[in-house]
Amino acid sequence: MQLTLWTYEGPPHVGAMRVATGMQGLHYVLHAPQGDTYADLLFTMIERRSARPPVTYTTFQARDLGGDTADLFKDSVRTAYDRFKPQAMLVGASCTAELIQDDPGGLARALNLPVPVIAVELPAYQKKENWGAAETFYRLVRTLAQPVERTPSARPRCNILGPTALGFRHRDDLREITSLLNRMGIDINVTAPMGATPDDLARLADADFNVVLYPEVAGTAATYLAKTFGQKSTRIVPIGMGATRDFIAEVAELAGIDATAVLDEANAHMPWYARSVDSNYLTGKRVYVFGDATHVIAAARIAQTELGFTVVGMGTYSREFAREVREAAKLYGVEALITDDYLDVEDQVASLHVELVLGSQMERHIAKRLGVPCAMISAPMHVQDFPARYAPQMGFEGANVIFDTWVHPLMMGLEEHLLGMFREDFEFNAAPSHLGTSPARMEAPVAAPALAAAAPTPAADTLVMDRPAESITAKGQPVWSADGEKELGKIPFFVRGKARRNTERYAAEKGIAVISVETLYDAKAHFSR
């Protein structure tokens, strides 16, 4: 048993749902109890989809258990087929149905439906969401992709593999990369899962190579396609300037074309922004990166080599890609943290004196608790991470978007200096002035029983410090003198929490009962790097 406060990934059948919901003409029958229908809201509320996911749940109850759950499953498949008339069906079990061992695949096949029925076995007590997505996509491809007579074409053709429903910026990444490939003179044969029908999957082989946007989802299927149809795939994920250029070179080679023209992208503003003098203050900012493997590897490269930050720690919850993330971490001289326990991540962020966190919704919370700025780079995410505007992560426009979203939460250089020099200025509210959050609000604990997408964003004021107070007040622990507390208040908010903790730790270690202004500065000197 694993004690879990928050989970980065859902169960594997949610991965299957992301594939099915991204596709058209496919219907998924899931043997599951009623509560599991919550997964619909991930799509309809968080991603704001305007249609229900194409999923039927059997919603068996305790009274069904002894007897007819298998019949209930068969009925559900038959009824769903009659109602939705899909080109193909997926069937499978959620965690509870896995325990009752009804064999959804066998039961569904016995119905002799006139369409392909693909059974996906997703071990729920072992695997998680991304694995489930990859396995489902692989099973679909394996069942549906057929050998084809190649369509003659003057231009090279590729498939784009990986984008799903509920993916971090998948919609916009797909648009960006499709347009990039088109400008390179490459046609798209099939994009999948997003937007593809089962019939489209049947003609995957009618392409020269595959572009794999998200290895977490499409890696397994791409390997199968390579083995079966000899299609090579891209290995580079085009997130960041450098990676996008490398990706273009890789694609050009696979397609046998010259792509130098697209390398010179007039709309790539990011390199100049990074070089312009106002970006000087970004140099060496201590950055922590956590999320899925693809985005973490890309983000670390951008942070270190394209923005001039220092990557002080990185890690992933994608255990399947632990090796790749470990390799990448070596480039920056850090050791990768591979975990799905967000408390481990929080400990690491707290101990590394981080100035910017790049992460998922979990890290957003960690960063808020610790008073550190944060930008989103990966799932899991919140409703606000599905922006209305075009905001890809991939390609040249993606690099522009990343520059803006990562730099925005930081204090601008001059502002930071002025704040440092004139901390007593009563008009300085100690947060980046363009973000408009007052420190008083940031510290106010408000119990907001909001629900998923109901509340817009947990702005700073919905953060709940649902823990014993940070300051140590128990007997035998140091207490703050009034002067010390006042001096602490002059420290910019984003390092104040750290200063408080460090000073208290220092005082405790030295046996100092009352923390004075002197103690604060002694501690600062003690911990300075």
Summarize as ranges the residues that interact with ligand SF4 (CB under 6 A): 33, 35-36, 95-96, 412, 415, 432-434
Nearest distance in Å: CB 527, other proteins: 24
Q: Which does 125 bind (CB under 5 to 8 A by kind): other proteins, ligand SF4, none?
A: other proteins
Query: Torsions phi, psi of 466, nearest 5?
Result: -90, 60
List alpha helices for 230-341, DSSP H: 241-255, 260-263, 270-275, 293-301, 322-331
**Which residues contact residue 162 at a Cβ distance below 8 angstroms, ignoring those fewer than 6 apart?**
170, 193, 212, 213, 214, 215, 216, 217, 218
| Spatial distance between the Cα atoms of 243 and 470, rounded to a whole number of angstroms | 41
CB 183 within 8 A of CB 240: no
Cβ proximity to other proteins: between 414 and 452 the closer is: 452
| Spatial distance between the Cα atoms of 173 and 395, rounded to a whole number of angstroms | 8
Q: Which does 434 bind (CB under 5 to 8 A by kind): other proteins, ligand SF4, none?
A: ligand SF4
Nearest to 490 by CA among 419, 423, 426: 423
Q: Which does 433 bind (CB under 5 to 8 A by kind): other proteins, ligand SF4, none?
A: ligand SF4
Residue number, nearest CB to ligand SF4:
35
Nearest distance in Å: CB 59, ligand SF4: 9
Nearest to 332 by CA among 269, 289, 274, 271: 289
Q: Which does 339 bind (CB under 5 to 8 A by kind): other proteins, ligand SF4, none?
A: none
Cβ proximity to ligand SF4: between 171 and 285 the closer is: 285
Cβ proximity to other proteins: between 69 and 393 the closer is: 69
The residue length of the chain stands at 529
Nearest distance in Å: CB 487, ligand SF4: 25
CB 499 within 8 A of CB 488: yes
| Spatial distance between the Cα atoms of 446 and 300, rounded to a whole number of angstroms | 34
Compute the half-sphere exposure of residue 246: CA atoms within 13 Å on the CB side of its CA: 12
| Spatial distance between the Cα atoms of 28 and 120, rounded to a whole number of angstroms | 10
Q: Which does 382 bind (CB under 5 to 8 A by kind): other proteins, ligand SF4, none?
A: other proteins
| Spatial distance between the Cα atoms of 195 and 396, rounded to a whole number of angstroms | 23
Nearest distance in Å: CB 441, ligand SF4: 18
Cβ proximity to ligand SF4: between 138 and 281 the closer is: 281
Q: Which does 454 bind (CB under 5 to 8 A by kind): ligand SF4, other proteins, none?
A: other proteins
Cβ proximity to other proteins: between 238 and 409 the closer is: 409
Cβ proximity to ligand SF4: between 197 and 429 the closer is: 429
Tokens of 288: 């922590």
Nearest distance in Å: CB 80, other proteins: 9
CA distances from 22 to 64, 190, 269, 392, 518 (A): 32, 13, 32, 17, 60
Cβ proximity to ligand SF4: between 414 and 446 the closer is: 414
Nearest distance in Å: CB 414, ligand SF4: 7
Tokens of 257: 């074309």
Our answer to whether residue 278 is catalytic in this structure is yes
Q: Which does 112 bind (CB under 5 to 8 A by kind): other proteins, ligand SF4, none?
A: none
DSSP 239: B
Query: Torsions phi, psi of 381, nearest 5?
Result: -140, 175
DSSP 455: S
Nearest distance in Å: CB 412, ligand SF4: 4
Characterize the bridge pairing of strands 337-338 and 356-359.
unpaired
From 68, 75, 199, 278, the catalytic residue? 278
Active-site residues: which are they? 278
